[in-house]
């Protein structure tokens, strides 16, 4: 696709360098026409800030989707991030049926859990609904915690390649066509991504930095989507996104007061170069 048009569905945290405030600039910088469907608007993200405002936009989604359908607007890819409710997941499934161009790609980041636990807003019923979205996805991008909830396999902090293969098989059994499993580390000081594509698993290892911040998952997923729709295969898109995210984390660590999000903007020249 020379100039793909994609839709990303997730919330807007007005301050905090995550969700749509990350996805829109990264995808646009990749040379992709980026359309957005905000699921909610928050004054800041919820990790470290208190007293933030929140407006749920679930009720707006059907009218927006109906207008697009009336206008005949279609997308080459749909990319989902944080979805705040089971109802929003159902709307996204309908969008994939109505607004995705024939042969288009649905990429799902099932942003709902980390470190062995669901995010506070979610429960088992939400996991069951997320399974239905992953079942129709061309690519799913879970971390190990999310994969364990989606597959029903126990969450482990110590594991081997057989465990990662079992998580992958479980996600494929749901219906997902390809799997990019993030945060997979087999050695001390290293982590990486395990990519199932075209019938095989390939692993890309990179440095595990001691520091992190809220929003790096959104940076990773957005860079992956940008690289993929610009013609990279899943493995190369995963590799580029991983290297870019590591650079963003490293750049952020230099400024101790910048705790609330990754400084992804300063590293965009690296992403430009990688896409060439």
- E-assigned strand segments in the chain: 5-15, 33-44, 54-56, 75-80, 100-108, 113-114, 117-118, 139-140, 178-182, 190-197, 200-207
Least confident of 168-172, 173-177, 179-183, 215-219: 215-219
The pLDDT score that the predictor gives to residue 203 is: 98
The pLDDT score that the predictor gives to residue 271 is: 96
**CA quadruple 224, 229, 231, 235: dihedral sign:** positive
pLDDT band at residue 210, thresholds of 50, 70 and 90?
confident
Q: Given a cut of 90, is residue 141 above it in pLDDT? A: yes
Q: Given a cut of 80, is residue 83 above it in pLDDT? A: yes
Q: Tell me how far apart the alpha carbons of residues 95 and 6 are, in angstroms, rounded to a whole number.
A: 12
pLDDT in tens, 213-248: 788 999 999 999 999 999 999 999 999 999 999 999
The pLDDT score that the predictor gives to residue 213 is: 77
The pLDDT score that the predictor gives to residue 199 is: 94
pTM for this prediction: 0.96
The pLDDT score that the predictor gives to residue 1 is: 62
The mean pLDDT value of the chain amounts to 95
What domains appear along the chain, each with residue ranges and CATH number? 5-275 (3.40.1190.20)
User: What's the average model confidence in pLDDT over 64-89?
Assistant: 96
User: What's the average model confidence in pLDDT over 129-153?
Assistant: 98
pLDDT in tens, 8-66: 999 999 999 989 999 999 999 999 999 999 999 999 898 888 998 999 999 999 999 99
Structural contact between residues 53 and 111, judged by C-beta atoms closer than 8 angstroms:
no
């Amino acid at each position: 696709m020379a100039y793909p048009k994609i839709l990303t569905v997730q919330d807007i945290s007005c301050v905090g360098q995550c969700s749509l405030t990350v996805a829109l600039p990264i995808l646009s910088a990749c040379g992709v026409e980026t359309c957005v469907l905000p699921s909610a608007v928050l004054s800041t993200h919820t990790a470290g800030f208190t007293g933030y405002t929140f407006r749920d936009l679930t009720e707006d989604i059907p009218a927006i989707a109906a207008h697009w359908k009336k206008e005949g607007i279609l997308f080459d890819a749909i990319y989902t991030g944080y979805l705040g409710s089971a109802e929003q997941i159902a709307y996204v499934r309908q969008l994939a049926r109505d607004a995705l161009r024939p042969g288009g790609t649905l990429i799902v980041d099932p942003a709902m859990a980390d470190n062995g636990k669901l995010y506070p807003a979610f429960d088992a019923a939400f996991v069951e609904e997320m399974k239905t979205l992953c079942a129709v996805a061309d690519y799913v991008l879970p971390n190990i915690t999310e994969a364990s909830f989606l597959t029903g396999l126990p969450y482990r902090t110590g594991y081997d390649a057989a465990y990662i293969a079992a998580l992958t098989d479980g996600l494929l059994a749901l219906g997902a066509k390809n799997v990019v499993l993030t945060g997979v580390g087999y050695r001390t000081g290293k982590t990486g991504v395990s990519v199932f594509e075209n019938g095989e698993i390939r692993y890309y290892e990179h440095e595990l930095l001691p520091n992190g911040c809220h929003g790096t998952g959104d940076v990773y997923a957005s860079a992956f989507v940008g690289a993929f729709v610009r013609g990279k295969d899943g493995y190369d898109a995963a590799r580029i996104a991983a290297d870019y995210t590591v650079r963003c984390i490293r750049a952020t660590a230099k400024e101790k007061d910048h705790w609330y999000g990754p400084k992804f903007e300063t590293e965009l020249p690296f992403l430009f170069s990688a896409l060439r």
